């Protein structure tokens, strides 16, 4: 296996995104179970992190495969347009990653296995048809990324807490997905795909994203009732990262969307840090 191919495969999965998603598993269990009970869920945390990492990786690889035509215009340096990997290699790689995720899920419990199989199928459906689903595709991503928190709530016996976390995560992810779709509007339009921003405009899309980010931020602030001051102090930095598209949705441009998307990703990482610190101190 050549170094170029290895670099391409790593780039396909967007490892930082996958690691960030996986890190949310122990952070959530820490919040739900508390420091005193966290050790009882060590198996679920380790395997759950692997499940999320490989499921996210499989979805990202499949998404690159489906978006290869658009990426030739929007992101020519991505692995497939730059010919670091072929489409067949990407398809096989994505399928293998989903299998690893499902295998790890089977070692946790039946409910996790069922959830992961359903989630993988839904994620594959999204990747294959997202450009034709409009805003429904963004809703699907929010559900896929929000639902695992409910499952963790069922495992830990803290469903009421997990619902609030799921609302926060789903709303923020939904907002970010809409912002990302604005990034791709040029390529979508050129190849004849009418995404939500291509059809209804950047300002309307950004306004909906702004509302979703506000809902997610309110849910995160409400979580302060379960934490000490450390949580809210760190959370303020995350909220600052979310504020760009919230404060000026009517001035949204394709260029700004790229920067806002990165800021929201950074904000999500900070939220995870806030949850950990709020649970420990």
The residue that leads in pLDDT, 32 or 2, is 32
Domain that holds residue 42: 3-280
Query: The domain that contains 141 carries what CATH number?
Result: 1.10.357.140
134 — alpha (psi -120 to 50), left (phi > 0) or beta? left
What global pTM score does this model have? 0.83
Q: What is the pLDDT, as a whole number, of residue 173?
A: 93
Q: What is the pLDDT, as a whole number, of residue 189?
A: 60
Q: What is the pLDDT, as a whole number, of residue 107?
A: 95
Q: What is the pLDDT, as a whole number, of residue 1?
A: 63
Share above pLDDT 70 across residues of the chain, in percent, rounded to a whole number: 96
Q: Rounded CA gap, 248 and 264, in Å? A: 15
pLDDT tens digit sequence for 100-136: 999 999 999 999 999 999 999 998 898 888 767 878 8
pLDDT tens digit sequence for 213-253: 999 999 999 988 887 788 999 999 999 999 888 887 777 88
pLDDT tens digit sequence for 62-71: 989 988 877 7
What is the domain count for the chain? Answer: 1
Of 72-76, 104-108, 142-146, the range with the highest mean pLDDT is: 104-108
pLDDT tens digit sequence for 176-204: 989 988 877 766 665 556 678 877 888 88
């Amino acid at each position: 296996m050549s170094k170029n191919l290895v670099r391409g495969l790593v780039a396909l999965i967007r490892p930082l995104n996958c690691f960030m998603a996986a890190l949310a598993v122990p952070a959530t269990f820490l919040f739900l179970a508390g420091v005193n009970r966290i050790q009882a869920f060590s198996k679920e945390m380790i395997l759950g992190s692997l499940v999320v990492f490989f499921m996210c990786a499989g979805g990202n690889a499949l998404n690159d495969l489906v978006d290869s035509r658009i990426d030739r215009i929007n992101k020519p340096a991505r692995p497939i347009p730059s010919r670091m990997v072929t489409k067949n290699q990407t398809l096989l790689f994505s399928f293998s990653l989903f299998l690893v995720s499902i295998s790890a899920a089977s070692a946790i419990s039946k409910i996790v296995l069922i959830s992961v199989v359903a989630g993988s199928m839904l994620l594959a459906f999204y990747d294959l048809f997202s450009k034709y689903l409009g805003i429904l595709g963004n809703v699907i991503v929010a559900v896929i990324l929000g639902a695992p928190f409910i499952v963790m709530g069922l495992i830990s016996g803290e469903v009421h807490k997990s619902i609030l976390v799921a609302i926060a995560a789903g709303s923020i992810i939904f907002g970010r997905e809409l912002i990302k779709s604005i990034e791709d509007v040029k390529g979508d339009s050129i190849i004849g795909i009418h995404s939500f921003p291509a059809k209804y405009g950047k300002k309307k899309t950004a306004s909906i994203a702004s509302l979703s980010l506000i809902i997610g931020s309110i849910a995160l602030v409400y979580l302060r009732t379960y934490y000490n001051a450390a949580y809210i102090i760190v959370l303020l930095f995350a909220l600052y990262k979310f504020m760009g598209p919230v404060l000026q949705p009517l001035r949204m441009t394709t260029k700004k969307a790229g920067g806002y998307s990165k800021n929201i990703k950074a904000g999500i990482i900070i939220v995870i840090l806030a949850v950990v610190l709020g649970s420990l101190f």
